[in-house]
Structure 1
Amino acid sequence: MLSNALNRFRLAGMVEGGSLLFLVLIAMPLKYFAGLPEVVTVVGSIHGFFFITYCLVIAYTTFKIRWSFSWVFQAFIVAFIPFGNIWLDQRLKKNFAV
């Protein structure tokens, strides 16, 4: 799966998107409903690492396959939307025949 830059980007997107979902759907409810703010601290730090890595992979992919500004913008914006990376992954499969 990691044979080219686009597949590496797709993997980074799924990991980052998964960490966002874990943060929003599991860690945040544990903080507010179970009184465990430590969970958000740990999961938030891990998610932050994955987000920074994802941004670096966006830059790498942009230079490697000469993405247009539109793709770069979409890749960055979906990082803030739960399930956004799944939507982008489907668009990548359709437009780049991955």
Structure 2
Amino acid sequence: MAVSKKFLKSKPVCKVTFAYTAPEVKELSLVGDFNEWDVTATPLKKLKNGTFKVVVDLEVDKSYEYKFIADGEYVNDDEPEALVFNEFANTENSLLEL
């Protein structure tokens, strides 16, 4: 799965690992309502095998809409938990439930 979750016992936070495999992509960012859809806030690190990864701390008991930006193009997660229609953008976004 492209998203893995590690819930902390000490506080209401989940460490969420976002991964996206795209060897042909040069730069990948994560945007969502957790970072105000800021294209520069959450870049992913590219690993040697072509997979990009980043870990984000998110509050539990919430849902989050998100997308990746691959070389300037908005794309959804390859394996999202769900997709939700966003009227503002007139498109579907990936959805994460914590």
TM-score normalised by the chain length of structure 1: 0.24
Q: Which has the higher contact order (CA 8 A, sep 6+)?
A: 1
Rg larger in 1 or in 2?
A: 1
TM-score normalised by the chain length of structure 2: 0.24
- Give the helix-richer structure, 1 or 2: 1
